[in-house]
Amino acid sequence: MPITYADKEQGQASGYPSNQTWSAENANEVKSCINSLEGRLESLEELDPLENPVASLDYAPTSDGQQSYLEGRTFYDSERKTYVYMNDIPDVRINVGQEVMTPVFNNSGSTIGNGSVVRASGGVSLGLPEVVLALADTVEHADVFGVATHDIQDGTRGYITVIGNVGGVSTLNFEAGDKLYLSDTVAGSLTNVEPRIVSPVGIAIDKLLDGNLYVRPRGVQNRIAVGQIRGTSHDQEITNTPSPVEAFSSTGYAQNVTLTTAQPNTDGYTAEFSPAQAGDSGLYLFTFSTSVTSNDNNVYVFELYINGASTGIKASISLDQSRIDYGSATISGITEVVLTESDNVSVYVYRQNSSAEPSDLEFQSTLFSVEKLGVV
């Protein structure tokens, strides 16, 4: 390992020639070289870095396979073409300038395997963010933090790669160059098929059992939350008192995030949606459309409610003419208030004209959807 000492004052560095280079392969040889300098240096203590600064260290190129583990060891990797150093985890090598790692704490209840995709769970242990396996089943769960770069036992600290290469993982299910996304079916896993919630993680470098990934999480790309519920052929008694529309079915429910599911009623289902992501708030676009028929001539009003309170956004179907017994209505708009995770949005219906008996309204088809517009 050649060592070059810098000039101290225009040429001489207390007792030995400036810019002089000696070659050595290890610490013993460095000491031997120093002691051979015609007695100018009596001991290693004379190598004061402030008095005699080292101008450069030239590492002999080597490979990872030639290096045994020692915490703090640094070498130049001839294959990766960069400096590599070893930290406190024997299985981890940090490629300087080619990757970014960060320490985390596994509090998930089980081992997080090498190559597993993780997200921050919101807790902190030992001053480190706690992580669990990520899964693209909801926007919240799909917010990728990084990829484990070694097996991290439960209740211990470890390292994840935020940007860079992760090796020792199977890439047999992919082709080299495939874009990889967080799986929506297997926690911590990857897929090359774009799922419903798109959370890019990186690229497959090869197609091997002991393969490599290039990791660069980009966050959820389609953070627009959509919830929708449908219904057909349902009868509901309508009075002058607003009540939730029941014309939905549990099988007609679709979502791409965590939303309150359809709530069972005595007859049919009521649809009640909540904001998409825990901790988020924002504005929501709602759309409700329905077609109905009734033998009771009346005006039926549909109105958006938030937390059981009227918003004043409404539409009506007028069946108050003797020959009209069929009609349709659509209401659409943006919530006038910013919603939080505990709020809910639903549609109520009531009749405008008084009548002694409840009116029987038959819903032919119904659609109710809520779409998140943004975060404020």
Q: Is residue 48 part of a domain?
A: yes
Neighbours of 80 (CB within 10 A): 17
pLDDT reported for residue 249: 74
Q: Are residues 171 and 244 in the same domain?
A: no
Q: Who contacts 193 (Cβ-Cβ below 8 Å, separation ≥6)?
A: 181
pLDDT in tens, the chain (376 residues): 454 444 444 333 344 444 454 444 555 555 565 555 544 444 445 556 666 677 777 888 888 777 889 999 999 998 889 999 899 999 898 989 899 999 999 999 999 999 999 999 999 999 999 999 999 887 788 999 999 999 999 999 999 999 999 999 999 999 999 999 999 999 999 999 988 788 999 999 999 999 999 999 998 886 665 667 777 788 888 999 999 888 887 777 666 554 455 565 555 677 766 654 434 567 788 888 999 888 788 889 999 888 889 989 889 888 877 666 788 889 888 887 777 767 778 889 999 887 768 888 888 888 888 877 765 4
pLDDT reported for residue 11: 37
Q: Are residues 244 and 103 in the same domain?
A: no
pLDDT reported for residue 223: 63
Q: Are residues 211 and 231 in the same domain?
A: no
Neighbours of 210 (CB within 10 A): 11
Query: How many Cα atoms within 13 Å fall on the side-chain side of residue 299?
Result: 8
Compute the Cα dihedral for 62, 65, 70, 72 and give only its sign: positive
> Cα–chain-centroid distance for residue 1?
44
Which of 314, 322, 298 lies closest to 349, judged by CA? 314
Range of the domain at 35: 3-57
Per the structure, the count of domains in the chain is: 3
Q: Are residues 22 and 127 in the same domain?
A: no
> Cα–chain-centroid distance for residue 175?
23
> Which letter does DSSP use for residue 143 in this model?
-
Q: Who contacts 370 (Cβ-Cβ below 8 Å, separation ≥6)?
A: 225, 226, 227, 228, 259, 273, 284, 285, 286, 345
Q: Are residues 240 and 322 in the same domain?
A: yes
Q: What is the CATH number of the domain that holds 299?
A: 2.60.120.40
Distance CA 8, CA 3 (A): 15
